Amino acid sequence: VLVHGSPKQRSVPPGKTRDQALDHARECFARVAQAAHAAGVTYCIEPLARAETDLINTVEEAVAIVDAIGSPALRTMIDCSAAGQAERESVPQLIRRWWPGGRLAHVQVNDPNRRGPGQGEMAFAPILAALRAVGYDGVLAVEPFDYVPDGLGAAARAIGYLRGLLETLDG
């Protein structure tokens, strides 16, 4: 799975409208989908909050592009931090809404405060429960931007926190 975040590389260019930028993005993602299919990988469009980019901010917007292109190699994903900032629905609701249609292929677990899971206000037990409910058994990517207390400490804390939640779900 490859993720296309790149907020600065997908903003609406000066002198262009949002619709023009989306048309160009669809053209680019259609070419990417062909290359991803040929390479045997899944390429995911990452919806990001408006504070990071003015283009493709919600899962619904990303799904519209995925549906327009119609390639099994092009999907979208949920970044918990961005979703916590940009979506009207909770992350568990997004998972339950979009996963069954096969449009989601990846999840990044991070808090809207830009730290790892368990280091902010977002509740990750309902997110993991929703992923279990839809049958997801793939990788959970942890993507903090604020490494507290440091890189290794943030990783260890995230792993311990997520393993504890998963053990609780397993009963």
Query: Exposed, middle or buried, 111 (CB in 10 Å: 0-12/13-18/19+)?
Result: buried
Return the H-helix or E-strand segment holding 97.
helix 91-98
**Starting from the edge strand earliest in sequence, which strands make up the sheet with 140-142, in order?**
2-4, 43-45, 74-79, 104-109, 140-142
Is 46 labeled as catalytic in the residue annotation? yes
Catalytic residue from among 27, 87, 143, 167: 143
Is 143 labeled as catalytic in the residue annotation? yes
Catalytic residue from among 27, 46, 61, 121: 46
Tokens of 37: 């299919």
The structure tokens 């003015």 sit at 54
Report, as residue numbers or ranges, the catalytic residues: 46, 143
